[in-house]
């Protein structure tokens, strides 16, 4: 579903049927984190979902305010691969073990 920022996100839920206006981030709700519409503008989850669709990677999110009190709140993401049983350093790329490349390019002269 499209977020208020206009990105497609698998964890955002909006119910607008017959005048309802219910919106929530189910990823943050599952971890008892506060959500507001402004978090969607800087959230990295839609970009991660576009780049990597691995079913074994689980995302953990928390809301934090970086450095000082005058910066806006942001969603911080940590990824964990359940197949390789390790933390994922770059969620956009993945762990590197779940989805190997199907072939190698070789140039022979």
- Cα distance between residue 8 and residue 35, in whole Å: 17
Condensed to tens digits (0 to 9), the pLDDT of residues 3-19 reads 888 899 999 999 888 88
> Is 70 exceeded by the pLDDT of residue 68?
no
* Domain positions in the chain: 12-88
Tell me, what's the pLDDT at 9?
92
What's the whole-model pTM score?
A: 0.79
Tell me, what's the pLDDT at 1?
84
Tell me, what's the pLDDT at 21?
87
Condensed to tens digits (0 to 9), the pLDDT of residues 82-98 reads 998 999 999 998 888 88
Tell me, what's the pLDDT at 106?
75
């Amino acid at each position: 579903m499209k977020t208020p920022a206009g990105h497609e996100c698998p964890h955002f839920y909006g119910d607008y049927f017959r005048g309802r206006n219910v919106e929530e981030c189910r990823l943050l709700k599952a971890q008892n984190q506060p959500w507001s519409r402004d978090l969607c503008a800087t959230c990295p989850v839609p970009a991660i979902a576009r780049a990597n669709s691995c079913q074994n990677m689980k995302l953990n999110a928390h809301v934090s305010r970086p450095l000082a009190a005058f910066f806006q709140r942001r969603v911080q993401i940590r990824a964990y691969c359940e197949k390789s049983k390790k933390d994922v350093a770059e969620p956009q790329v993945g762990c590197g073990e779940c989805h190997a490349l199907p072939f190698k390019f070789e140039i022979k002269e």
